[in-house]
Structure 1
Amino acid sequence: MSIITGRGDDGETDLLFGRRIAKTSLRMEVLGAVDELNSALGLARAAGAMPEVEEIIARVQELLIGLMGQFACLPGDEDRYAKAGFAAVGEGDLEWIVARAKDFEARGIVFKDWARPGADHSLARAGLDFARSVARRGERAVLVLHESGEEVPQHLRLFFNRLSDLLWILARAA
């Protein structure tokens, strides 16, 4: 099957379970931010982040795939999503992110000044800072979706905030 289907030519796109949605919808803004975040993390990973950071990036990318699935599921289809056995970000994943950030803070990495991505000529650090800024955009998109009346569970609303903090710390550690 070709990637070029023409199904999106009318301004709509497919979600899970045969559901369709406008490409300009708030939900698609969230999905786009998650997709961009995954790509930005891929750049940081490919730029040669230290092995420990690369392992964290790999785990976060796995979480983002599950997160995309969760947001590609319209309200009312959550049980169907869970029964299908698809990956999902849970509260334990949020705790994992916080624990990683606290681990690096315990090593002495703390906020001292604003980040200046690229100033030290490290592609890995700049990529992590770029990913952090995309995570912040994802956070805003999730909050807008939630405020529009489509309830987003609290742990998913907090996910992007905590992840952007972790990415800031990782950029300093890289």
Structure 2
Amino acid sequence: MSIITGRGDEGETDLLFNRRIGKTSRRVEVLGTVDELNAALGLARAAGANQEVEGVIDRVQELLVALMGQFACLPEDEARYAAAGYAAVGESDLEWVEATARDFERRGVVFKGWARPGVEHSLARAGMDLARTTARRAERSVLLLHEGGEDVPRVLRLFFNRLSDLLWILARSA
């Protein structure tokens, strides 16, 4: 089966449960930004992040795949999504992001002014900064979706804010 289907040629794309939506919708913007974030983390990972940071990246990428599933499901299909047993990001995942950030902070990572990505000549750190800025854009996209009338659970609205903080810390410590 070819990846080229032609189904999106008229400006729509598929969501879960045979739903179609415009490619310029806020929901698709969220999905695309989360996909970009996942790719940026892949770049940081492939650029030689240390083993501990790579483990954090791996866990975050798992969460991002779950988030893409959640956002690929329209609100009216959320019960179907849950019943199907698909992965979903919840409070415990948000707590993990916060705890991981705090753990790295305790090691001496502190805010000393604006970051200058690349100054350390580390592709892994620069990749983390790219991921951080993409996480901030994902946060804005999620908030726009919520403010546009779609109820996005609070945990999902907070997730990208906390994640971008974690990524800033990891970029300073990678």
Q: TM-score, normalised by structure 1?
A: 0.99
- Where do 4+ consecutive residues of structure 1 move more than 2 Å? none
Match of 2:173? 173
Letter in 1 for 2:160: F
Q: CA deviation at 1:76?
A: 0.9
Aligned match of 2:30 = 30
The one-letter code sitting in structure 2 at the alignment partner of 1:147 is: E
1:98-126 deviations in Å (ceiling 9; x for gaps) = 00000011111011111100111100000
Distance 1:75 1:88 in 2: 14
Q: Give the Cα separation in 2 of the matches to 1:96 and 1:154.
A: 16
Which runs of 5 or more residues in structure 2 are unaligned? none
Deviations 1:80-138 (A, max 9, x none): 00111111101100000000000011111011111100111100000000000000000
1:50 matched to which residue of 2?
Answer: 50
Structure 2 residue identity aligned to 1:141? S
Match of 1:71 in 2: 71
Paired residue secondary structure (1:117): coil
**For structure 1, which runs of at least 5 residues remain unmatched after alignment?**
none
Give the corresponding residue for 1:114. Answer: 114
Structure-2 residue corresponding to 1:62: 62
Q: Take 1:49 and 1:150, find their aligned partners in 2: how far apart are those partners?
A: 37
Partner of 2:76, secondary structure, is coil
Aligned length: 174
Supply the RMSD in Å over aligned alpha carbons.
Answer: 0.4
- The match for 2:135 is 135
SS of the aligned residue for 2:75 comes to coil
Aligned to 2:123: 123
Deviation for aligned residue 1:3: 0.2
State the TM-score, normalizing by the size of structure 2.
0.99
